[in-house]
Structure 1
Amino acid sequence: MRAAPWLHARRAFAIALLAAAGACAAAPDMPADTGTNRQLVDAAFQRWAAGGSGFFNELLHEDVTWTIAGSGPSAGTYRGRQAFIDRAVAPFVARLASPIKPVARQVWADGEHVIVRWDGEATAADGQPYRNSYVWIFRMRGGRAIEATAFLDLAAYDDVLRRVPARR
């Protein structure tokens, strides 16, 4: 005996519902840019760890707002990529014998936000090691960080700025 046409339609509908439910379970509900943003930031860190020097120019939007959280002399907010580089990055780099190298990192993303927990190592110009742990939180737009908040041991960072004269 042949099944009624409505029974075929009902079975097809049930199969479609099950397939849709399986697809939803396989792909969690997350914004489409989550994976892209995570991948962009992780790739920039990989290049930096491999010896690249263009991390900030590559990842930061020119109008980024970068905040260093805390209460030390280096805490504060920098408006614009160049202001951040000139006032926070360059004075620190001028006191190092070797560039900071990310040696370990974890990256998480949710939509436009990417969180990176990383450890960095360098040698200061006075020969002393510099080690610090960081958490950077980026808000991405168009493949670039438009906002960043940095958490780090400001005492270690400020010690290098205080202790080591800037190289010219």
Structure 2
Amino acid sequence: METLLNGVAETERRTRALIGAFERKDLAVVSALLADDSTLTLPLSFSGRTEDAARFTGREEVLGYARNAFTITGRIRFANVRISVADGGRTSFVRADGDFTTADGRPYRNVYVYSFEWRGGRTVDGAEYGNPVTFSATFAPSESG
């Protein structure tokens, strides 16, 4: 039972470290927490259809997603963070409110649910559920150009 509790606590610690690295825009820590064969999926499409909005395969593609997120945002801050760990520490879930700004200082507030599958202390599969309407309203080019 103690081993199970240690696994759960360690997964929660790693999950907090990953979220914290995003807030600090710390690509080195994000990279250290990714397995070489990691994936990240954004399942909520911008069209409302069932296909994924995006899928990143392998550490370099996932880091490319992170670099882009760090570029288009000014501040990244997660509020009301709630972390749940399941499956003996192999899976973690994060619910949080995003209190972000865009690179040019406009507010960007979205809601997020993340799931992470862990193996050997690194995430191998992640999914980010954020409201695509909120994202599009903030980051889509305006009609006026």
Residue-by-residue CA offset, 1:35-88 (whole Å, 9 max, x unaligned): 221222123434555x362352232223211111112178121101221232x3
TM-score, normalised relative to structure 2: 0.75
Instruction: Report the equivalent of 1:33.
Output: 7
| More contact order relative to length (CA 8 Å, sep ≥ 6) | 2
Residues 1:105 and 2:105 are matched in the alignment: no
RMSD over aligned Cα atoms: 2.7
Provide the C-alpha distance between the structure 2 equivalents of 1:160 and 1:93, rounded to a whole number of angstroms: 15
- How many corresponding residue pairs? 135
Code of the aligned partner of 2:72? R
Structure 1 residues 47 and 150: alpha-carbon distance in aligned structure 2, compared to 1, 3 A threshold: closer
Alignment partner of 1:43 is 2:17 = yes
Give the one of 75, 95, 105 matched to 2:72: 95
2:103 and 2:17 mapped to 1: Cα distance?
Answer: 29
Q: What amino acid maps onto 1:99 in structure 2?
A: R
Residue 135 (structure 2) aligns with: 157
Unaligned runs of 5+ in 2: none
- Rate the CA distance shift 1:162–1:93 in 2: closer, same or farther, 3 A: farther
Q: Compare CA radii of gyration and give the structure with the larger one.
A: 1
| Identity among equivalent pairs (%) | 23
The one-letter code of the counterpart of 2:67 is A
Q: How many Å separate the matches in 2 of 1:120 and 1:145?
A: 21
Instruction: Give 2:102's aligned residue.
Output: 124
Contact conserved, 1:37 with 1:109, CA < 8 A, in 2? yes
Q: Alpha-carbon deviation of 1:28?
A: 8.8
TM-score by length of 1: 0.66
